[in-house]
């Protein structure tokens, strides 16, 4: 699974990082999230899906490989 945060959509709601703190990091300056790595480590997929569902801006995109 691959994951990306659309920086144009992200408004810094932080729910992604609460659902999957091992996957998303928040920028100190603007609070926008980004994925630590595009490749989701095995076993973390469900956390990422929860993050996708929690984001009010629908800023998180996943791709299954
Ligand atoms: Fe941004 Fe959505 Fe996370 S707005 S900080 S990607 S919950």
Condensed to tens digits (0 to 9), the pLDDT of residues 38-62 reads 999 999 999 999 999 999 999 999 9
* Calpha distance 65→62 (Å, rounded): 10
Using H for helix, E for strand and C for coil, what is the string for 16-64?
Answer: HHHHCCCCEEECCCCCCEEECCCECCCCCHHHHHHHHHHCCCCCEEEEC
Q: Whose CA is nearest to atom 2 of ligand 1?
A: 55
Q: Does the beta carbon of 34 sit less than 6 angstroms from any atom of ligand 1?
A: no
Q: Does the beta carbon of 3 sit less than 6 angstroms from any atom of ligand 1?
A: no
Q: Is the domain covering 2-63 a CATH 3.30.70.20 domain?
A: yes
Atom of ligand 1 nearest to the CA of 57: 4
pLDDT at position 4 is 98
The pTM of the full predicted model, rounded to 2 decimals, is 0.94
Q: Kind of pairing, strands 2-5 and 33-35? A: unpaired
- 3-state class of 14 per DSSP? coil
Please determine, for the modelled complex, whether the ipTM score is greater than 0.95.
yes
């Amino acid at each position: 699974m691959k994951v990306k945060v659309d920086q144009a959509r992200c408004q810094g709601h932080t729910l992604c990082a609460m659902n999957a703190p091992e996957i998303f990091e928040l920028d100190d300056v603007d609070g926008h999230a980004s994925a630590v790595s595009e490749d989701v480590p095995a076993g973390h997929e469900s956390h990422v899906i929860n993050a996708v569902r929690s984001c009010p801006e629908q800023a998180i995109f996943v791709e299954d490989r």
